[in-house]
Every structure is written in C-alpha cells, then in structure tokens.
C-alpha cells in the first residue's frame, strides 16, 4: 500500500503547464462500441499521418518532458454516447465533431483540418430534420437535449490518465471528505436525495447511515459493476470512461461508514472496463490516494477489482457478496441486510457504478445545488442505454422527470422501421429496466421518467436500459425473450423462481406456437404473480414483470395468438399463414418446385394453392415468386 501524501494542487499545476503547450487536441472515442468499429485503427492512423506531415505529435502528456510548442495531442476517451455514429473524433479547440470515421479518413483530416484549417464536411453529422451539417456537438439535437452530468467527462478526458482527472477537480471531494465527520457526510448525501441507480432506488444516504451505526471494527464498501441487463451499458461506459470517479465515490462512502477496504465487482464480459479500473486503482495507489493515511488524514482505504462470475443473479447484492467470498453466486434471505451483515459477516455498503460516480459531484457542488436537477422525489440525472427502433441509439443522460416523448422523438430522433430508416410506423412500446422492468406504451409518452411515476405505471427505472419498439414488434415474443433470459439466469435456489420461470417460458412457447387456449393466459398470469410474491431475491420477484406488463397493455395481442392463431405483428413463424393470390399467380410452378414438402399444388399456367396442413412455413415460396403472388409468413 502507498503511504505518501498526494498533493492535488501540484499534480493539477503540472498537468496545466504540460497541456498549455498543446496547440490542438484530437480525441478519439475508445469506448467499447467505437473500438468494435475500428476506432483504435483510426487513433493509430491519425498519429501516423500527423507525424508524416512533420507536425509535432504527442500521445500522452508527460510532465518531465519538454513538449514542442503547439504540438498536436492525440488522445483516447471513453464512450462519447453517440454510438450510432461511431467511430467518433473530436478536434479541439475548434470543437469539430467527426462521425463514422475510418482509418482511411485520417490523411484527409490531418491535411484539411489540422494543416489547412478546413472542415471535412462529409464526416459531419447531418441533422435529418433540417438537412444541416452540424460542426460541433452543441449543434446536434442528440446532445442538445441532454444534461450530461455523470457522463460529462466520459467522452473528453483520457480515462487512463489520473492527472487529467485531478486537473478537472478530481479527488477534491474525497480529500475534503477524509477530514469530515462520517455523520456529516451521511447527512449531506441524505440531504441530496440521491437514490440508488442500480434499480431499486433506495436512498443512498440512508443506507450509509444504517451501516455507520453498526458496531464493527471491520466494514466494507462494494461497487456493483455487474451490469447484466440485455442492452444495458451505462455502468460499463462510466468504468471505461471515468474510472477515477468511481474510486473517488468509494473513498467518500468508506469514510462515511468507517470502512478500510473496498471491492469493485465488474462483469468478466467487460474486459476493457476491468483493465481500466485496475489501472485506475494502481495509479491511485501510486499517487497516495489509496492506501494508508490518505491525504495525511489518518484514514486508510484500499480497493481491489474483482471480475464477476458471469451470472446475472450476481447483480443482486447478497449473491454478489457470496461470489466475492468464493462461493457460488446465490442470494440469501434478508434480513439481515448487507448494511448489518454483509461481506464476511461485516457491515457492508453496496452501490452501483453510477451511484458511486455521482457522489463526488454532490460533495463538490453541495446537496442544495444538486437537488435543482430532476424532481423532488428523484433528484439528479439518470443515464440510459438507448436501443431498438430509434434513429439514434447510444448512451444518454437526462434529468429525472424528462418525458419519454422527449427521449424517443427529440434525443433518439424518432421511431424507425425495421431497416433503420425513419418511418411512419408508430411507436408501440418501450421496455424499460430490462428483464426486471416493464413496458410503457403510447399513453405513457408524457409521464415524467422518475422512480415514483414509473412505479405507478407498472414499470421501474431499473438499471436504465431503454428498448424502443415499433408497431411491427410482437409483444408476446418480447415477453418470451426476457423470460428466456431470466429463466436461463435463475440460480435455482428457490422453487418458485427455478420452476415457475421454466413453466412460464413453456406457456409462452405454447402461445407463440399455436398450442395455447384462453385458459393458458389465466394460468400464465396466476403463475407470474406467484413467482413475483414467492421468489427469494430481486431476480425472481421481477422476472414476471415483462409478462405482466405486456398482458396488461397488450392482452388483445395475446388473445389474437390463442383465439385466432394469428400474430398481428406477423413475427411468430408457427402462426404464419401463407396464401397465393390467384389474380397475381401466373402458374409458372417456380414456387411448387422450391417447396421442400410438396405443399403447393396446381397445373402450369393456372393459379396454384397451398395446402396448409402440409406447409412447414419455411418461406421458400415467398422468396421464389417473381410476381409477389405469395404472401404471409413471419417478417
């Protein structure tokens, strides 16, 4: 452990002097989404082309080096949010924002922008509503309509440079907290109204105060980075883009409850987040920010990064604790709660990544100022992973109380057809909160997105996944998708979750495959409510939510499946009904020759017919027909 005292002012001053020699800064998004699309190749090629043109280039600021005046600083950032348009490149100080950049564009960017001072217009984002190219993020509706608070620095700073985090007032709040009374820290967080961003929305300050009151010489702080919801990547992006904000939040939490040891539990499926968190911990130790006698305050605290066991249930706090202890990740009955008896039987605070990253900002700005954002019952902002049938997918952040309509139609750019183009297809629903959440429909477009309003609507904030669906979506299939996920992820400890989710999945299979009756719906609903009430942990208790919410809002769609053996969205293959329009059929026999089971009958030159009992609904006839005479089937 480190024992030296960290001088934040000295580090800040050195970084300021080093950065003052930078003429331009080129920031390449190196979040997982952009990396998958080749942003690291863009980064390498930009550095190569800048050097080739004879411009002074630096890839990291080193205090001891004498950088040339007006050097071009090429750096990486975490997720910049606009994932739909990646890889993303920002050029400062002009704030030029290039989208969908490829390595082959590097030479043109260097020549035109860095040398000639011109803009490569074909790489700018074009606002589809106005047709206007947007030079900077401030002109793009996707960014204009947000309030990036926790994510503000994720797409700007180098996530692997502790000095840059410190330069942007990093660790100031932790330094201050180390000299505060634990009770005062808890009171400040209680006053802020911060609620846990992991799903339940429990008041963070209250949780800390309960843990502080426990009489124990040993206490722990755990940051839950086991983000397992399908389509959710909020915590991953914070860990990748601003790891030190998480560590700073943990230091403050540790001081507030009297802990000297902490764990960051990260999904093993997040290798980049794991690597950056580990580097951040190592750098913080070297700087004297973690270890013994932090900031010469007499307070000791250190952090370990642990890779998760690959189970969705480990997002539940007692299952996560079991995993850290080397046991199988399975939940335990509560009470006692982790605040009373957690890791190794000691009082433990567990908060998720976004909650921890919010804490230093609250301590820096004060509870009163923080409460000016969001609503009275849900202060602050919330990050959401926006996916599905929308023009702009990505990572967003808005104040609590923002309407779903604003998110879908202003930030996300509107509902799209299946091919990704803006469509007249109306908004049908949004699944919020992943497998633990529920559906919101047209009538919910204007409700404020906060903990209490969503709970009244039968949904929940959850971790923050938003999957938008157009009218071509089969809601029964969506419910089945989430049920299959939770059934696979059930740890099997309690019968209602283990067997109940299995039976619910079987009933949903009966519905989409045409074997169900109206009685099936009643059995499904009764079973869902039993699983909801009788399961041990949050996974089982919330597993039925997608089924119950779709039954509530789309019962007619379920009835169409069971009464008329018909899928209104045309998505369920087993319920597809193929037919040949005799007015369009030319009798060419091409469809009958392609049919693998001989279900199509007819003479050459005359209209053909499909024998439904023989049809296996493979769709070969639709693909074969050149006259659009064959219709039906799952889209």
Tens digits of residue pLDDT in 43-82 = 999 999 999 999 988 888 776 556 667 889 999 999 999 9
Give the per-residue pLDDT at 315: 83
How far is residue 361's CA from residue 370's CA, in Å, rounded to a whole number?
8
Q: What is the pLDDT of residue 464?
A: 83
Which tokens belong to 552? 């509530």
DSSP conformation letters of 460-497:
--TT-EEEEEETT--HHHHHHHHHHHHHHH----SHHH
- Tokens 């279900």 correspond to 599
- Beta-sheet strands, E only, within 217-298: 220-225, 261-266, 291-294
CATH of domain 476-563: 1.20.1440.230
Contact call for residues 635 and 571 (beta carbons, < 8 A):
yes
| Residue among 626, 513, 502, 486 at smallest CA distance from 571 | 513
Helical ranges in 325-388 per DSSP H: 353-365, 367-370
Using CA atoms, how far residue 614 sits from 551, 578, 585, 608, 617, in Å, is 33, 11, 20, 14, 9
Domain covering 381-473 assigned CATH 3.10.20.600 in the classification? yes
Low-confidence ranges of the chain (pLDDT < 70): 1-4, 63-68, 419-420, 423-425, 633-635
Calculate the alpha carbon distances from 261 to 159, 217, 255, 267, 301 in Å: 23, 12, 11, 20, 5
30-40 pLDDT, tens digit per residue, is 999 999 999 99
- In angstroms, rounded to a whole number, what is the distance separating the alpha carbons of residues 393 and 386? 5
Q: Are 122 and 105 in contact (CB under 8 A)?
A: no
pLDDT given for residue 2 in this prediction: 41
Q: How far apart are CA 599 and CA 594, in angstroms?
A: 10
Nearest to 365 by CA among 191, 178, 156, 155: 191
Q: Give the right CATH number for 576-631 from 3.20.20.70, 3.40.190.10, 3.30.70.20, 2.40.50.100.
A: 3.30.70.20
| Domain coordinates in residue numbering, the chain | 8-142, 169-370, 381-473, 476-563, 576-631
Distance CA 363, CA 245 (A): 12
Q: What is the pLDDT of residue 1?
A: 41
Question: Which among 460, 401, 394, 455 has a CA at the least distance from the CA of 432?
Answer: 460
With contact defined as beta carbons under 8 Å apart, do 275 and 235 qualify?
no
Q: What is the pLDDT of residue 66?
A: 61
Q: Under CATH, to which class is 169-370 assigned?
A: alpha beta
Fold of 8-142: Glutaredoxin (3.40.30)
pLDDT digits (tens, 9 = 90+) for 431-490: 988 887 888 999 999 999 999 998 888 888 877 889 999 988 999 999 999 999 889 888
């Amino acid at each position: 452990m480190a024992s030296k005292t960290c001088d934040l002012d000295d580090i800040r001053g050195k970084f300021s002097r080093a950065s003052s020699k930078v003429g331009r800064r080129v920031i390449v998004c190196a979040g997982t989404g952009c990396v998958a699309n080749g942003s690291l190749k863009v980064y390498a090629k930009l550095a190569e082309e800048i050097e080739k043109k004879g411009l002074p280039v630096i890839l990291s600021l080193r205090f001891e080096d004498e950088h040339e005046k007006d050097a071009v600083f090429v750096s990486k950032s975490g997720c910049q949010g606009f994932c739909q348009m990646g890889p993303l490149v920002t050029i400062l100080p002009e704030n030029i924002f290039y989208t969908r950049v490829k390595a082959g564009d590097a030479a043109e960017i260097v020549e035109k922008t860095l040398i000639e001072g011109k803009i490569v217009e074909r790489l700018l984002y074009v606002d589809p509503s106005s047709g206007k190219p947007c030079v900077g993020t401030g002109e793009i509706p996707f960014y204009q309509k947000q309030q990036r608070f926790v994510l503000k620095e994720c797409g700007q700073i180098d996530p692997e440079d502790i000095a840059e985090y410190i330069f942007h007032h990093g660790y100031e709040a932790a330094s201050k907290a180390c000299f505060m009374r634990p009770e005062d820290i808890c009171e400040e967080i209680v006053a802020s109204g911060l609620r846990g961003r992991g799903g339940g929305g429990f008041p963070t300050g209250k949780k800390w105060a309960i843990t502080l009151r426990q009489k124990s010489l040993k206490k722990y702080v755990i940051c839950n980075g086991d983000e397992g919801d399908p389509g959710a990547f909020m915590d991953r992006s914070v860990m990748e883009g601003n790891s030190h904000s998480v560590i700073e939040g943990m230091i403050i939490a540790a001081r507030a409850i009297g802990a000297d040891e902490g764990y960051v539990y990260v999904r093993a499926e997040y290798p980049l987040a794991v690597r950056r968190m580990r580097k951040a911990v190592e750098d913080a130790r070297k700087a004297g920010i973690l270890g013994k006698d932090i900031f010469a305050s007499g307070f000791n605290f250190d952090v370990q990064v642990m890779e998760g066991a690959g189970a969705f249930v480990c997002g539940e706090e007692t299952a996560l604790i079991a995993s850290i202890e080397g046991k199988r990740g399975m939940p335990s009955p509560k009470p006692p709660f982790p605040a009373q008896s957690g890791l190794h039987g000691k009082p433990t605070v567990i908060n998720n990544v976004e909650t921890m990253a919010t804490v230093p900002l609250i301590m820096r700005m004060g509870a009163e100022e923080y409460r000016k954002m969001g609503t009275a019952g849900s202060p602050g902002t919330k990050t959401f992973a926006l996916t599905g049938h929308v023009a702009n997918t990505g990572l967003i952040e808005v104040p609590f109380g923002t309407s779903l309509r604003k998110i879908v139609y202003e930030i996300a750019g509107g509902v799209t057809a299946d091919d990704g183009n803006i469509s007249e297809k109306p908004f049908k629903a949004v699944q919020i909160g992943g497998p633990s959440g529920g559906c919101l429909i047209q009538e919910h477009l204007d409700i404020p997105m906060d903990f209490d309003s969503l709970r009244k609507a039968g949904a929940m904030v959850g971790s923050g996944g938003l999957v938008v669906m157009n009218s071509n979506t089969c809601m029964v299939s969506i419910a089945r998708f989430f049920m299959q996920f939770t059934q696979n992820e059930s740890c099997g400890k309690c019968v209602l979750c283990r067997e109940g989710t299995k039976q619910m999945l079987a009933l949903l299979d009966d519905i989409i495959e045409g074997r169900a009756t109206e009685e099936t719906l009643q059995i499904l609903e009764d079973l869902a409510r039993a699983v909801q009430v009788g399961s041990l942990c949050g996974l089982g208790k919330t597993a039925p939510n997608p089924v119950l919410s779709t039954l509530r809002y789309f019962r007619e769609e379920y009835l169409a499946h069971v009464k008329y053996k018909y899928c209104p969205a045309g998505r369920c293959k087993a319920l597809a009904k193929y037919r040949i329009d005799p007015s369009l059929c030319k009798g060419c026999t091409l469809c009958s020759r392609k049919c693998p089971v001989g279900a199509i009958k007819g003479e050459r030159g005359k209209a053909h017919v499909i024998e439904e009992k023989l049809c296996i609904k493979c769709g070969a006839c639709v693909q074969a027909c050149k006259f659009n005479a064959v219709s039906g089937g799952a889209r």
